[in-house]
């Protein structure tokens, strides 16, 4: 009997997206389905190119369709369209997801995580931007080896716009690029807040799947400016495992959960989880204690996004402006896995929670 498109859809309606807990047909992930005399072909459109379940979903589809395909060849293409719940938001309408990267304590590696996460998401095929809003230590330009560059300006519809610097596939602007290097400027809260607003409204961002915002450590005016300016898709909390860092991370995390702020927490990243010599990655030394970040995530009932070890080359790559995720081995694996976890949690958040509201404060 001839196989029809309806038969294929019926077979595919038994395949679930394990994260979104619905079948692929209901989720409208099956595109361009065609059946001819020799083959069945279709495309599965995932919710992010960094989907960690890509292979599993493809195999599940293959298995389901094989049960009805007879002699026909099966051709499956995997693509991705990053989801968004920002709708017709009038600020940054072409930016699908805004992700705040936050830490309680300084120096836990928030900027290192932001830089490598951005490059990892871009490597997976997503359009990515970074705003470095860390007034106390705008280290993104150094980490991207563009500290001496000055962003260009363009005029569009009578408005002057900053053109973000493009480096390693990531568009970026930084508070550090607004001030001459080595020139000590004390950023006051209001100045920094207005710089962040400018980065949101006066930058030619174009279309982005993920815009990461590297915030100053702790809780500050900048955090409030951000949530008052745009609906933030979610927050990623970076901590190291020591007690003192965890206590501060908990405060930072609680701020996002406050009813009047109400930004979903995408999860906790444990940076500097253990020391490992690069050439012996199975040797792990828990010099700052073990599992602090994981336990915080459990207690706060938010996802644990992963561990990043202390590796000498992560520090060296930060200093030399060549993010560690671009170097094969243990560092690439750690940050690529982190990108998959973050992208996954964004997709789950978008499928299961209402869109974030811009915070109104009097």
Ligand X SMILES: Nc1ncnc2c1ncn2[C@@H]1O[C@H](COP(=O)(O)OP(=O)(O)OP(=O)(O)O)[C@@H](O)[C@H]1O
- Residues 243-282 touching ligand X, rule: CB under 6 A, are 271-272
Q: Is 105 annotated as a binding residue?
A: yes
The single residue among 15, 122, 308, 338 that binds ligand X, judged by CB under 6 A, is: 308
Shortest distance in whole angstroms from residue 164 CB to ligand X: 20
Q: Which residues pair with 174 in a beta bridge?
A: 132
Name which of 310 and 326 has its Cβ closer to ligand X.
310
Q: Which of 269, 281, 350 is nearest to 311 (CA)?
A: 281
Could you tell me which stretch among 154-162, 165-173, 288-296, 303-311 binds ligand X (CB under 6 A)? 303-311
Neighbours of 124 (CB within 10 A): 19
| Residues in Cβ contact with 163 at an 8 Å cutoff, skipping those fewer than 6 apart | 151, 152, 153, 154, 203, 204
Query: Closer to ligand X at the Cβ: 137 or 169?
Result: 137
DSSP reduced 3-state for 244: helix
Q: Point out which span in 78-86, 220-228, 304-312, 350-358 binds ligand X (CB under 6 A).
A: 304-312
**CA–CA gap between residue 110 and residue 186 (Å, rounded):** 21
> Considering beta carbons, is residue 41 or 313 the nearer one to ligand X?
313
Rounded CA-CA distance 252/102 in Å is 7
Residue 70 is assigned to a ligand binding site: no
Among 108, 131, 203, 266, binds ligand X (CB under 6 A): 108
Residues 135-154 touching ligand X, rule: CB under 6 A, are 136-137, 139
Q: Which of residues 159-218 bind ligand X (CB under 6 A)?
A: 217
Rounded to 10 deg, the angle between the 312-320 and 330-352 helix axes is 80
Residue 119 makes contact with ligand X by CB under 6 A: no
DSSP H helices, 145-272, are: 189-201, 221-229, 243-257
113 vs 102: CA distance, rounded Å: 10
Round to whole Å and give the CA distance between 138 and 214: 9
Q: Binding-site residue total for ligand X (CB under 6 A)?
A: 21
Between CA 280 and CA 56 the distance in angstroms is: 30
Rounded to a whole number of angstroms, the minimum distance from the CB of residue 316 to ligand X is 8
Considering only 314, 325, 343, 346, the residue that binds ligand X (CB under 6 A) is: 314
- Cβ-proximal residue to ligand X, closest one: 106
Tokens representing residue 275 in the block: 């020391």
At closest approach, how far in Å is the CB of 112 from ligand X?
Answer: 3
Query: 44: which residues sit within 8 A by CB, 6+ positions away?
Result: 24, 29, 30, 31, 57, 58, 61, 76, 77, 78, 79
State in angstroms the smallest separation of the CB of 143 from ligand X: 8
C-alpha closest to that of 17 among 73, 80, 86, 75: 80
**In whole angstroms, how close is the CB of 271 to ligand X at the nearest point?**
5
Q: What angle do CA 150, 152, 156 make, to 5 degrees?
A: 155
| C-alpha span between 86 and 67 (Å, rounded) | 39
Q: Which is nearer to ligand X, 225 or 276 (CB)?
A: 276
- In the bound state with ligand X, the residue whose beta carbon lies nearer, of 207 and 319, is 319
Nearer to ligand X, 8 or 135 (CB): 135
Q: Is 111 annotated as a binding residue?
A: yes
Minimum CB distance to ligand X, residue 111 (Å): 3
User: Is position 134 an interface residue for ligand X (rule: CB under 6 A)?
Assistant: yes
From candidates 83, 84, 103, 356, binder to ligand X by CB under 6 A: 103
108 annotated ligand binder: yes
Binding positions for ATP are 104-111
Binding site for ligand X (CB under 6 A): 103, 106-112, 134, 136-137, 139, 217, 271-272, 308, 310-311, 314-315, 318
């Amino acid at each position: 009997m001839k196989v029809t498109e309806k038969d294929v859809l019926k077979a595919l309606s038994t395949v679930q997206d394990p994260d979104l807990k619905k079948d692929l047909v209901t989720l409208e992930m099956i595109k361009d389905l065609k059946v001819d005399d020799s083959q069945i072909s279709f495309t599965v459109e995932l919710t992010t190119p960094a989907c960690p379940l890509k292979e599993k979903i493809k195999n599940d589809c293959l298995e389901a369709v094989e049960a009805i395909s007879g002699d026909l060849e099966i051709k499956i293409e995997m693509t991705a369209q990053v989801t968004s719940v920002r709708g017709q938001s009038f600020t940054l309408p072409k930016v699908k997801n805004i992700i705040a990267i936050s830490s309680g304590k300084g120096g836990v590696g928030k900027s290192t995580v932001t830089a490598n996460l951005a490059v990892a998401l871009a490597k997976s095929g997503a359009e990515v931007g970074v705003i470095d809003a860390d007034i106390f230590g705008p280290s993104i330009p150094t980490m991207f080896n563009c500290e001496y560059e000055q962003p260009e300006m363009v005029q569009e519809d009578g408005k002057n716009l900053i053109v973000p610097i493009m480096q390693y596939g990531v568009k970026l602007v930084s508070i550090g690029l607004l001030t001459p290097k080595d020139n000590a400027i004390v950023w006051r809260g209001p100045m920094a807040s207005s710089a962040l607003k400018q980065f949101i409204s006066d930058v030619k961002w174009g279309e982005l799947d993920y815009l990461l915002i590297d915030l100053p450590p702790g809780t500050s005016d900048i955090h409030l400016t951000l949530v008052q300016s745009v609906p933030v898709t979610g927050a990623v909390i970076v901590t190291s495992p020591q007690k003192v860092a965890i206590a501060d991370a908990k405060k930072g995390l609680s701020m996002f959960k406050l009813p009047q702020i109400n930004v979903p927490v995408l999860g906790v990243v444990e940076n500097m989880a253990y020391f490992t010599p690069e050439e012996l990655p199975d040797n792990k030394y828990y010099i700052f204690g073990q599992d602090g970040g994981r336990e915080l995530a459990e207690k706060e009932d938010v996802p644990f996004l992963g561990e990043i070890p202390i590796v000498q080359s992560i520090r060296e790559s930060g200093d030399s402006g060549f993010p560690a995720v671009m170097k094969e081995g243990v560092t690439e694996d750690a940050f690529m896995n982190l990108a998959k976890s973050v992208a996954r949690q964004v997709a789950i958040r978008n499928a299961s929670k209402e869109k974030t509201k811009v915070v109104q404060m009097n």
